[in-house]
Structure 1
């Protein structure tokens, strides 16, 4: 086992946070049951918040972000997990207050570890990452709310972001007609790569659906990743017995709606959390992602980056300019 490893370390000095690639002593992380040599990590908005010093995500510094990791087990004191196993870790406290996947090694409790499903590579696992798991949970909950392809169109917000892009790609592969809320300049990526049927701009969607207590019923379901006026517009635009999932608040943590869509159309608002879900439930979704739900163009949604490129990519995410997914390859 290496004595030192490379990591993106975030340090605080006089209230200023700085992220820089450093060498870290292996002994600084050997605290838990399973040690993993990380091959890939995905880059998420929460990682960008952590790297910027957001105390709502990470309380103490210095810190290594990275809420996702996929790699090979180097050592384990837990039954059922052995050295040589390929595994995935997403969520729980990884990358928040436990040093995460932006380092070449992580040490985690065995209860966080999922064995890599058959049909999925370590790279593909991080093409999904937490965003893909959240997308999978969103699709799963929509389907199990009774949504059928014949019911009509599904609207997806934040369609160029991590959760939105993978949700669009999964739904399109499963045969659902997806309307993406985004800008026309992204039409090639959203329509040809992700498979959406059409695009509606944020401004037009809000003007069309969020000006009254209840609007015309155009959609059978929705996946919202941004909150605010977009989510309230989706709620008001659903057909009878429709459902919308919600998992993000980048636009706003508040929604302004009435009770009418709920009592007149029987719609369902479903909250999605991918962090603290039981590992058995996560495994179920990962197995779907590894097989019939794997998007045809999964790798086209992703850009591989090196650790040296991480700081710039994290800034891109904070500025809301990301398109698709970024995967950190520790071997680059």
Structure 2
């Protein structure tokens, strides 16, 4: 088909508009791999993109959707052939290059990873950027040399997408996991995916002492701000926190005390750059470490014509786990 369904964001006469449209293949952006999109997913970035509440979109018009899993239709890239199932996350997709909220996409093969055989396309999108980022965090802690024998781990923003996968992945690796959430009702859900203890978000939301009681050997922080500062202050000697989010703020209201008096490490984790070797490693680990039932417990699949509504709702904190968009 030469025309296809998509969500398009544009600025028209000073108005920010996100709407469902019909597009033509001729409008696709440059790339050496054409794909038929099977599923996309709703991330916080997508919510910011469609509402205009954050500077996510870097060019207009733009098809949002920072995640997609697709079947290769045409390829001039040596690494991919028609019929193969590939996954793409980050790399500017949905921000500077047309993304996954469309039936078709044209992408650089340097952004793509072949989907491991043990992951279905829908489950791969359930994982998406959220699960990939969580896996990057786990790998960062492992590169630091930390193991479950060192003590418990902590995850902030635990009921969100990244947090949910962080809890599950750490628990699968043998960690005792304390999950921080602002939603007390999510306690049973978090325990079902591996949390051993539920902690209240409010206990970490305000700046505390520079050095606090040592509670955690490792952590994954998806919040930032005062929460991250408190986690660093509660990390034991030679421990580390992998930081990957900033919904609680870009500032870090703490001190150097945890770093210079306890040897605590702050490990920055980002998931946008291609770094294909790391992505392949992460997807391989995800495929082996997460069972299908655990992935399914985090997933809600919605039709494409509900994508805008649900993307808008994610910025108000009304989405638990992962919402996957099935393309028509």
Deviation per CA, 1:176-213: give whole Å up to 9, x if none.
11111113221121112x22011111112346xx4211
User: 2: distance between equivalents of 1:301 and 1:99?
Assistant: 26
Please state how far the C-alpha of 1:56 moved relative to its aligned partner. Answer: 2.5
Contact residue 204 and residue 226 of structure 2 kept, 8 A: no
Correspondence for 2:189: 189
User: 2: distance between equivalents of 1:107 and 1:314?
Assistant: 23
Name the SS for the 2:324 alignment partner: strand
Correspondence for 1:140: 139
Correspondence for 2:283: 286
Greater mean alpha carbon deviation, residues 294-303 or residues 41-50: 294-303
Cα RMSD, aligned residues only: 1.5
Normalised to the residue count of structure 2, the TM-score between the two structures is 0.96
| Match for residue 226 of structure 2 among 225, 229, 241 | 229
Greater mean alpha carbon deviation, residues 223-232 or residues 18-27: 18-27
User: 2: distance between equivalents of 1:79 and 1:239?
Assistant: 48
Unaligned runs of 5+ in 2: none
User: 1: distance between equivalents of 2:140 and 2:291?
Assistant: 17
Q: Indicate how the Cα distance of structure 1 residues 179 and 321 shifts in structure 2: closer, same or farther if over 3 A, else same.
A: same
Please state how far the C-alpha of 1:286 moved relative to its aligned partner. Answer: 0.5
Please state how far the C-alpha of 1:281 moved relative to its aligned partner. Answer: 1.1
Unaligned runs of 5+ in 1: none
Correspondence for 1:177: 176
Greater mean alpha carbon deviation, residues 26-35 or residues 39-48: 26-35
Contact residue 68 and residue 129 of structure 1 kept, 8 A: yes
Listed as ranges, the matches of 1:1-332 within 5 Å are 2-29=1-28, 31-53=30-52, 56-182=55-181, 183-192=183-192, 194-206=193-205, 210-294=207-291, 296-331=293-328
Deviation per CA, 1:196-249: give whole Å up to 9, x if none.
011111112346xx4211100011111000100100000000011000011111
User: 2: distance between equivalents of 1:234 and 1:59?
Assistant: 33
Deviation per CA, 1:133-183: give whole Å up to 9, x if none.
100000111122121112221110011111001110111122211111113
Please state how far the C-alpha of 1:329 moved relative to its aligned partner. Answer: 0.6
Normalised to the residue count of structure 1, the TM-score between the two structures is 0.95
Greater mean alpha carbon deviation, residues 110-119 or residues 67-76: 110-119
User: 2: distance between equivalents of 1:12 and 1:95?
Assistant: 16
Contact residue 81 and residue 110 of structure 1 kept, 8 A: yes
Name the SS for the 1:297 alignment partner: helix
Please state how far the C-alpha of 1:295 moved relative to its aligned partner. Answer: 6.6
Contact residue 170 and residue 295 of structure 1 kept, 8 A: no
Please state how far the C-alpha of 1:328 moved relative to its aligned partner. Answer: 0.5
